[in-house]
Amino acid sequence: MVSSSHEAMHRIFQEDPGIFARTFDRLGIPFTDPVAVSLLPTDLTEIKPLERRLDTLLRVDTAHGDSYLLAVEAQGRKDPDKHGSWAYYLSHLYAKYRMPPVLLVVCQEESTARWASAPLHIGPPQWRTLTIRPLVLGPHNVPLITDSSTAARDVPLATFAAITHGKHPCADTMLKSLATALKTLDAETATIFRELTELGLGKSPGAQIWRDLMAIDLSFFRSETSQKLREEGRAEGRAEGRAEDILMILETRGLPVSGDARERITGCADPEILRHWLSRAVTADHAEEIFAEE
């Protein structure tokens, strides 16, 4: 029987597929950020009466023109039969779509995550015909997000982290930070991630903590304070995005960026100043030139 926590663990990637690239970038396995994502049918059943169904299947298109399939499986416990299913999923997807598939397994138990991380070799020892190497996210590698400002910068990742670490001693702090971060969102979006969190926590110790937090008057989401926080959050997000654009232009043009220059760019919160720096970055002969007076 599929549990609510199982559903939330993979459904969150439908809400924000970018969690995948952002998380693995922190783990030193860079994936290009998606520019387009399509939700594909998860039914992999053949003509024969044997049903095989993925949890979530996404097509990811990148700015470089590359595309790949992201198959997300939520795994609640060790299951040796899953190895054969995963091999089938990946082979079938490649044959059907002619795109490289990536298998992502998400777990809430560290022992299950480490079991799922082990590569699966198919074939005799002297000649491995097929090797399955899942990417795995679980308590062993998903970051703990205990600061509300950090959670507000990436609510989907903070939600996924809170679900993953529902049994962690810091679950209380993480959930309080997430609850605060939700107040920076509009009511509709906040509701989506509030419900995903509740589903994902299931019967873990963090579930009651979350219910108690959500029992607080939710009219805050419509208050003037909430509106101010949302506006501040949007401004901060625009500033961060513009700073990243400046650095990308400078680096693409082959201009060295010193530590001081990088710190000055990323530390600036004034969108108007950053806009000027962005326009100068296109023609500057060196990075420091963007800071020159008008």
Q: Which residues of the chain fall short of a pLDDT of 70?
A: 1-4, 6-7, 35, 37, 42-52, 216-238, 293-294
Residue closest to 117 by CA, chosen among 132, 91, 135: 135
Tokens of 65: 């023109």
Write the CB contacts of 199 (distance below 8 Å, at least 6 apart in sequence).
4, 5, 7, 8, 11
Tell me if 112 sits within 8 A of 137, measured CB to CB. no
Residue closest to 20 by CA, chosen among 73, 98, 81, 63: 73
pTM: 0.60
Q: Tell me the pLDDT tens digit for each residue of 59-104.
A: 888 888 888 998 888 888 898 888 888 888 899 899 989 999 999 9
Q: Tell me the pLDDT tens digit for each residue of 102-126.
A: 999 988 889 999 999 988 888 888 8
